[in-house]
Amino acid sequence: MIRTQIQLPDTLYQEIRRVAKSQEWSIAEVVRRGAEMLVRSYPNFKAETTEAWVFPPPVSSKLLVSDSDAIRSLISEDLEGYSN
C-alpha cells in the first residue's frame, strides 16, 4: 500500500469524519472507498479524440446502513476478492 498526504476543505473533512464514525471505519477507509467508487466510474480506455475531457457531474447518493454487522459482513466478502 502507498502512503500519501492530501489536503481537504474543512467541511469535506468533517463529513468524512462523520461517515467514518457512523460506519466504524477509519478516515483512510472512507477516502479509499470514495476513490474506488470514482475510479470505477471511469472506464480504462485510451480513445483518440480532439475534444478536451471533462469530469462528469458527481453522483448524488448516500450510504444508508441500519445494521452495522451486516455491512461489515458485506465489506469482508467484497475485500476477499482483492486478496488475490
State the DSSP string of 48-64. --SSPP-PPPPP-----
Q: Where does the pLDDT of residue 40 fall: very low under 50, low under 70, confident under 90, or very high at 90 and above?
A: confident
Q: Is residue 25 part of a domain?
A: yes
- pTM, full prediction: 0.52
Look at residues 75, 81, 65, 1 and name the one whose alpha carbon lies nearest to residue 33: 75
Q: Is residue 3 part of a domain?
A: no
Examine the pLDDT at 65 and tell me if it is beyond 70. no
Look at residues 24, 19, 54 and name the one whose alpha carbon lies nearest to residue 34: 19
Domain residues for 72? Answer: 9-43+63-84
Structurally, the chain folds into a number of domains equal to 1
Q: Is residue 2 part of a domain?
A: no
Q: Is residue 16 part of a domain?
A: yes
Q: Is residue 81 part of a domain?
A: yes
Q: Is residue 50 part of a domain?
A: no
| 65 touches 23 (CB < 8 A) | yes
